[in-house]
């Protein structure tokens, strides 16, 4: 099933330049509300985690089988993912407004940090160390640990000053452009839409008016 989801090419592009921003971009937003939600089911969360290299294909398959056996557990994990995404949406929105963070949102993220940090452990493959998470075999939510950690690290970094929000779709990204004037999530998506809208409006304005 995870493979099927991947084959459907449903995955949102990872354009944020940061894992936590890409996770928040698993929905598009209009006026602060979710417009399109890419996390349609727990399978979609797994497919996203696989695409983001949080888990490998075998692990995605294993978790998928558990959620098929215990759908209520999968639904709970999906609901936790959406709650985390909402907290991150509010915090990153605050970052784009001169790093003004809401106290409730910070409290919510701190609770998640407190829950996840004790479960962090170093894991070594070859000569490379990376963080992994202690978890029960049946735990369907641990894929969120990496997102929580990435969000916390981004917020304490100087990069937090460069978080931007695309006015077209509400996606977040870290602006690392030289002139710091990146406006759109991508020129291929919202940038080109805005360009054709401008061209259309110019064309209308230049048309001779009939009586």
Residues numbered 89 to 108 that lie near Zn ion (CB under 5 A) are none
Query: Shortest gap between Cβ of 194 and Zn ion (angstroms)?
Result: 9
Residues numbered 174 to 193 that lie near Zn ion (CB under 5 A) are 185, 190
Beta bridge partners of 125: 128
Query: Shortest gap between Cβ of 191 and Zn ion (angstroms)?
Result: 8
Query: Shortest gap between Cβ of 30 and Zn ion (angstroms)?
Result: 11
Question: Cα-atom radius of gyration of the chain, to the nearest Å?
Answer: 20
Return the number of the residue (74 or 168) whose C-beta is nearest Zn ion.
Answer: 168
Q: Which of 46, 143, 169, 174 binds Zn ion (CB under 5 A)?
A: 169
* CA separation for the pair 21, 173 (Å, rounded): 6
Q: Which of 166, 172, 174, 182 binds Zn ion (CB under 5 A)?
A: 166
**In sequence order, which ranges of 117-183 are alpha helices (DSSP H)?**
145-156
* CA separation for the pair 30, 46 (Å, rounded): 25
* CA separation for the pair 62, 140 (Å, rounded): 10
Return the number of the residue (129 or 187) whose C-beta is nearest Zn ion.
Answer: 187
Tell me which stretch binds Zn ion (CB under 5 A): 88-96, 123-131, 166-174, 203-211.
Answer: 166-174
Token output for 29: 């937003």
**In sequence order, which ranges of the chain are alpha helices (DSSP H)?**
2-7, 19-24, 42-51, 57-69, 71-96, 103-116, 145-156, 192-206
Return the number of the residue (133 or 171) whose C-beta is nearest Zn ion.
Answer: 171
The verdict on 149 binding Zn ion (CB under 5 A) reads no
* CA separation for the pair 30, 21 (Å, rounded): 17
The verdict on 165 binding Zn ion (CB under 5 A) reads no
What phi and psi values does residue 30 have, to the nearest 5 degrees?
-130, 125
Query: Shortest gap between Cβ of 170 and Zn ion (angstroms)?
Result: 7
Token output for 57: 């294909």
The verdict on 168 binding Zn ion (CB under 5 A) reads yes
Query: Shortest gap between Cβ of 192 and Zn ion (angstroms)?
Result: 10
Which residues contact Zn ion (rule: CB under 5 A)? 166, 168-169, 171, 185, 190
């Amino acid at each position: 099933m995870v493979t099927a989801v991947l084959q459907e090419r449903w995955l949102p592009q990872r354009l944020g330049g940061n894992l936590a921003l890409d996770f928040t971009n698993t929905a598009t937003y209009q006026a602060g509300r979710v417009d399109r939600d890419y996390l349609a089911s727990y399978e979609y969360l797994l497919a996203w985690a696989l695409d983001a290299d949080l888990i490998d294909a075998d692990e995605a398959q294993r978790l998928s089988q558990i959620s098929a056996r215990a759908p209520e557990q999968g639904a709970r994990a999906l609901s936790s993912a959406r709650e985390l995404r909402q907290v991150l949406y509010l915090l990153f929105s605050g970052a784009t407004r001169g790093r003004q963070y809401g106290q409730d949102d910070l409290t919510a993220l701190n609770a998640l940090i407190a829950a996840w940090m004790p479960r962090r452990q170093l894991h070594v493959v070859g000569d490379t160390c990376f963080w992994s998470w202690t978890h029960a075999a049946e735990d369907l939510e641990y894929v969120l640990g990496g997102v929580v950690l990435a969000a916390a690290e981004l917020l304490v970094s100087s990069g937090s000053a460069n978080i931007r929000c695309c006015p077209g779709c509400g996606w977040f990204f870290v602006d690392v452009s030289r002139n710091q004037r990146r406006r759109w999530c991508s020129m291929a998506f919202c940038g080109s839409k805005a360009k054709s809208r401008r061209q259309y409006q110019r064309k209308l304005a230049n048309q001779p008016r009939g009586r």
